[in-house]
Structure 1
């Protein structure tokens, strides 16, 4: 189980990142992947850099590297999650043995003069299950140390969605044929509408294997991406009141939600979901917003900031980046991210006999998502979808068990 201290700290960093979001075409990021790197740096920093990094990671700098090691170990124990840390240093850099001892074992390698970038790209591909093919930063002649982390998340839906097509009549996706996914379930409480600081937000929880779920978040059209994602974090922390689909009033009680009565052949109530299939990828230059990540002072090259890492050898952050990707399909969800910091210098039937409650959730404009470990509520990845997948060829190819009769599989 992931420790509560680490979960709170990661979510705090996630919230800081959300507040700084300005997605263009959609984005995906993982604070859970970046946090161990910042914590490790905080442990080895001094002065203003140490204070800023400690504030960003939300734990005291002293012992922060130990928390990073524990978080990586906890992530590795979660089914469907892979995590790793890598450390490379140039020959001759006097790296502190006590600092490296607080990192996961056997991560320290030599930063070779020749072929270093190819080796780092191979490390990124291997630890992201091939989802991220290139390392997020380039090594320069001045690079003395590279600290990186990898986080890969994989879950299969308990029952697959059914491929469909979504053709919105209005909004940013109007008159487009969107590759969509459809599900019907009798479990109306998988959908809820919450009252949040960003206004009403509709949340759909899609349960997957390995205890990993994906929460789809649809806010009002005027709500900013960061506000909607922050509302999702508040829902995880139970800070916002929410009303589940079985208790929602008739009409349109939330974004994308319609509640009505309909005729049916069985007395069950239904939740119908139509949502886009998507793949998003993003590259983040963390030094564009250094204050968010506690890297203002640490990236100042006028002096050294990490005596706990390399003693008197002056080190400053020269680059910090994350490459991430996520996909939501009929069968499941995949996400991966590599973070790195470089330090330098649907006949007529008989009339249905029952009138039942029917809830529809239709996502036909930009929305957010959170990939969450169900038990601990740790957010493994977060993102915003502005450009869903277009209708592909072979859209109606059959799926195993994908007949749409998902009455209790969520």
Structure 2
């Protein structure tokens, strides 16, 4: 694999991966589960903010990001440069300043190359330019900047994170209708099916986890919990659980069951070469719009958003504070692969034939026929990129 594709391993230490994952989980725990969200989409922007802040404002941001001042100053530009042209993960960071703000040149020197733009004050023109940047930076998955330009915006910081991967083993498309459960009211939905190596499925008392490997070092994990378990607990368990700590579903015997899993015996035309798992799941296309200030404590934005106490003396000559902080996300799960994107914006304001069935096959089947969680993870480092909750599949 190309060196640039391994950028995360070269740039982030295991401690920093753990810090980014901790921010993701802390944010997740601070609110109800959403269809899709990205803590890693927020993490570099907290670093950018921290390098321009002083005093308690800076300390709060660094604590949330889990970074030292020196690393916070280096990581955003390094990540943006490394991922500018990779296929599986892309990250762009940009800053736009209005005429009432004079940026500190030492602060801008630490930003990615060509990251600084201008807000003209013409709302329509600025919106068009910002929306075009969001679409370009997310390969068209998100077509608008999640910021309200009808409110005062003197300075805007944004990150755009996108992930795309193709399944190593593609799914088969099929049309499904559920006769029981919460999806029975939907009518026909767009289902997916595949037979995967048996080690892809791990099971525990409160969670079954299916790992779907894609190219570009990306794994997508699907997590199914007990039907009566709250969505937040299922998603939190998926984020916190190392699948290797769970039991291999391949070890289950015929007649055994786990969450969403049953084991039967079939007669087949071919001998079984090794453990396999049959998967029945659904396509999904999910979107979320999040207000980061709803979880300001979890994200270290409490002082940064306080008009009277925010201190960004190293960022601009004029006093500024965070006035808006939003993220738009989208995730698409299909037969051939997965793609997701997040744009995070922080606005600052001044104030053939019938075969003979001669062989026996142990069939391990997991069925995702009700709401479930998903997690997108960088395989070599364990960095969590996106997470979400599939409340409903795509309808046919």
TM-score by length of 1: 0.87
Residue 70 of structure 1: how far off its partner (Å): 2.7
**Segment of structure 1 superposing worse, 369-378 or 314-323:** 369-378
Give the Cα–Cα distance (whole angstroms) in 2 for the partners of residues 78 and 243 of structure 1.
Answer: 35
Write the deviation string for residues 191-218 of structure 1: whole angstroms up to 9, x where unpaired.
11135xxxx2111111212222211111
Report matched runs for 1:291-302 at 5 Å: 291-302=297-308
Report matched runs for 1:14-53 at 5 Å: 14-23=24-33, 26-53=34-61
Write the deviation string for residues 171-209 of structure 1: whole angstroms up to 9, x where unpaired.
211243221001123x111111135xxxx2111111212
- Given the alignment of the two structures, is residue 182 of structure 1 paired with residue 190 of structure 2, yes or no? no
Partner residue in 1 for 2:289 = 283
Report matched runs for 1:159-170 at 5 Å: 159-170=169-180
Residue 42 of structure 1: how far off its partner (Å): 1.7
Indicate the RMSD between aligned Cα atoms, in angstroms: 2.1
State the SS of the aligned residue for 1:14. helix
Partner residue in 2 for 1:241 = 245
**Segment of structure 1 superposing worse, 32-41 or 54-63:** 54-63
Partner residue in 2 for 1:214 = 220
Write the deviation string for residues 373-401 of structure 1: whole angstroms up to 9, x where unpaired.
2222222211111021012xxxxxxxxxx
Residue 74 of structure 1: how far off its partner (Å): 4.3
Counterpart pick for 2:120 among 105, 112, 130? 112
Residue 65 of structure 1: how far off its partner (Å): 2.9
Contact 1:36-1:72 at 8 Å conserved across structures: no
Contact 1:40-1:65 at 8 Å conserved across structures: yes
Write the deviation string for residues 80-136 of structure 1: whole angstroms up to 9, x where unpaired.
222100100113522111212222122011111121111111111111111111110
Question: Structure 1 residues 72 and 233 mapped into 2: Cα distance closer, same or farther (>3 Å)?
Answer: farther
Give the Cα–Cα distance (whole angstroms) in 1 for the partners of residues 132 and 85 of structure 2.
Answer: 24
Partner residue in 2 for 1:103 = 111
Residue 249 of structure 1: how far off its partner (Å): 3.9
Counterpart pick for 1:85 among 93, 99, 106? 93
Partner residue in 2 for 1:400 = none
Partner residue in 1 for 2:162 = 152
Give the Cα–Cα distance (whole angstroms) in 2 for the partners of residues 325 and 107 of structure 1.
Answer: 24
Residue 22 of structure 1: how far off its partner (Å): 1.6
Tell me the number of residue pairs that the alignment of Structure 1 and Structure 2 aligns. 379
Partner residue in 2 for 1:407 = none
Partner residue in 1 for 2:4 = none
- Given the alignment of the two structures, is residue 307 of structure 1 paired with residue 318 of structure 2, yes or no? no
State the SS of the aligned residue for 1:119. helix
Report matched runs for 1:324-403 at 5 Å: 324-345=329-350, 349-350=355-356, 352-391=357-396
Residue 62 of structure 1: how far off its partner (Å): 4.9
- Structure 1 gaps, min length 5: 392-410
- Given the alignment of the two structures, is residue 271 of structure 1 paired with residue 281 of structure 2, yes or no? no
Give the Cα–Cα distance (whole angstroms) in 2 for the partners of residues 284 and 12 of structure 1.
Answer: 19
Give the Cα–Cα distance (whole angstroms) in 2 for the partners of residues 55 and 318 of structure 1.
Answer: 21
Partner residue in 2 for 1:224 = 230
State the SS of the aligned residue for 1:158. coil
TM-score by length of 2: 0.90
Write the deviation string for residues 231-281 of structure 1: whole angstroms up to 9, x where unpaired.
223234x6x721112213444542211112222222215321110110000
Give the Cα–Cα distance (whole angstroms) in 1 for the partners of residues 257 and 300 of structure 2.
Answer: 40
Give the Cα–Cα distance (whole angstroms) in 2 for the partners of residues 206 and 224 of structure 1.
Answer: 24
